[in-house]
């Protein structure tokens, strides 16, 4: 992607596409177990990059290597074109916000924030000035918080103190190890937005690690999805949403319907559910006997009124319905034991327990399983 195209896409925020961190063929093995397997990617200067994956995907191991708390078994980590594999964390110009936040429990908020400045030997007045600025930036009134014990702060306040402390270090890249996972949903939304704002205002490079793709999609410029120590897909949130590379990525994004299909040649396939099979039309050609997953988002499934023609129509039973604000979600079955999720506008409603279920071929995607 050229500079020109990139800056056009991201609009107001100017992003020089120079890469700040490059991960080249990195593996990490613990005995026989391979936590990270030959992973390569790069993080660009000033972007909000997110590593996302379920637990056990190797994302935390990857992060620990990036900040220097573990060393890769193989491969290189290059920070501004310098190999930093064996550089200990206290000599790297990077910094991490821990999942537990790891605030110093015996220090005040102010001293926590000043800690990186103190170890650097800055004068007390300089430290204080900087801490004061940072607390203000994070909406913590310095008059109230500077001398407050960190253990007396609320969850959200602690998040901000941890971020202020990391910013005080003035790192080239700021890493985050799921710091928001222990926060309740409402506050998490607020903090996600704040984090994004701070990233934009400070123009720092952020590298965030989380198990929630939703969180990743909200904040990130680019997302890398990890599974079993391997990167499954890497791209902008909209790219990933629009074209998930495989069934894992699609499923990871949230509630989707994945149908097991076996090609019959051409645009025809068999939808296999246990012992029964139904014929479906595909958006692309699939060779005979080839097995794939057909992705249909819940909002693409429709209840078809008699007379309307769509590509695929099946009779189905409605099992449950749930109200999700302005939308309604239904669980329906075409064949017993194989439920599908349908999401429609609340006003639409269903006529009875038996419905005609259908979708446009254009709304479905064929994925590798």
Q: Which of 23, 67, 250, 296 binds another protein (CB under 8 A)?
A: 67
Element (H, E) at 205: strand 205-210
Question: Can you tell me the distance from the alpha carbon of 366 to that of 262, in angstroms, rounded to the nearest whole number?
Answer: 11
Is-contact 168 154, C-beta < 8 A?
Answer: no
CB of 86 to another protein, least distance (A): 10
The answer to whether 176 contacts another protein (rule: CB under 8 A) is no
Could you say whether residue 308 binds another protein (CB under 8 A)? no
- The CB-of-114 to another protein minimum distance in angstroms stands at 10
Size of the site for another protein (CB under 8 A): 29
Minimum Å gap between C-beta 322 and another protein is 30
Contact flag: residue 253 with another protein (CB under 8 A): no
* Nearest of 121, 71, 111, 73 to residue 92 by alpha carbon: 71
Intra-chain end-to-end CA distance of the chain, in Å: 29
327-353 burial, b at 16+ Cβ within 10 Å, e below that, comes to: ebbbebebbeebbbbbbbeeeeeeeee
Contact flag: residue 165 with another protein (CB under 8 A): yes
Strand partners, 51: 209, 224
From the CB of 31, what's the least distance to another protein, in Å? 13
Q: Shortest gap between Cβ of 62 and another protein (angstroms)? A: 16
Nearer to another protein, 92 or 328 (CB): 92
**Binding positions for another protein, 73-112, rule CB under 8 A:** 88-92, 94-96, 98-100, 102-106
Residue found by looking up tokens 């007390």 in the block? 124
Q: Which of 166, 258, 269, 301 binds another protein (CB under 8 A)?
A: 166
- The DSSP H or E segment spanning 24 is strand 19-30
Residues that bind another protein (CB under 8 A): 67-70, 88-92, 94-96, 98-100, 102-106, 115-116, 118-120, 165-166, 168-169
């Amino acid at each position: 992607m050229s500079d020109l195209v990139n800056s056009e896409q991201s609009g107001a925020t100017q992003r020089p596409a120079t890469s700040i961190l490059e991960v080249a063929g990195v593996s990490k093995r613990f005995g026989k177990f391979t936590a990270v397997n030959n992973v390569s990617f790069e993080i660009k200067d000033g972007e909000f990059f997110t590593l996302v994956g379920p637990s056990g995907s190797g994302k935390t191991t990857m992060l620990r290597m990036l900040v220097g708390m573990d060393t890769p078994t193989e491969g290189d980590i290059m920070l501004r074109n310098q190999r930093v594999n064996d550089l200990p964390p206290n000599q790297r110009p990077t910094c991490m916000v821990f999942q537990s936040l790891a605030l110093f429990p015996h220090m005040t908020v102010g001293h926590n924030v000043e800690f990186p400045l103190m170890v650097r030997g800055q004068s007390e007045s300089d430290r204080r000035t900087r801490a004061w600025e940072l607390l203000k930036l994070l909406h913590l009134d310095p008059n109230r918080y500077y001398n407050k014990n960190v253990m007396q702060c609320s969850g959200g306040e602690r998040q901000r103190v941890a971020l202020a402390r990391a910013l005080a270090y003035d790192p080239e890249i700021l890493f985050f190890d799921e710091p928001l996972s222990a926060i309740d949903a409402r506050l998490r939304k607020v903090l996600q937005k704040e984090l994004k704002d701070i990233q934009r205002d400070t123009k720092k490079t952020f590298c965030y690690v989380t198990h929630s793709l939703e969180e990743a999609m909200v904040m990130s410029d680019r997302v890398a999805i990890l599974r079993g120590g391997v990167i499954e897909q890497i791209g902008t949130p909209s790219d990933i949403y629009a074209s998930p590379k495989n069934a894992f990525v699609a499923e990871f994004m949230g509630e989707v319907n994945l149908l097991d299909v076996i090609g019959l040649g051409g645009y025809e396939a068999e939808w296999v559910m246990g012992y029964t099979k139904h014929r479906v039309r595909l958006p692309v050609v699939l060779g005979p006997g080839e097995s794939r997953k057909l992705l249909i988002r819940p909002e693409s499934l429709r209840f078809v009124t008699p007379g309307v023609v769509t590509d695929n129509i099946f009779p189905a039973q409605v099992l449950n319905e749930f109200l999700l604000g302005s939308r309604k979600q239904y669980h329906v079955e075409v064949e017993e034991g194989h439920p599908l999720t349908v999401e429609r506008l609340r006003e639409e409603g269903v006529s009875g327990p038996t419905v005609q279920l259908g979708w446009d071929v254009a709304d479905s995607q064929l994925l590798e399983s």
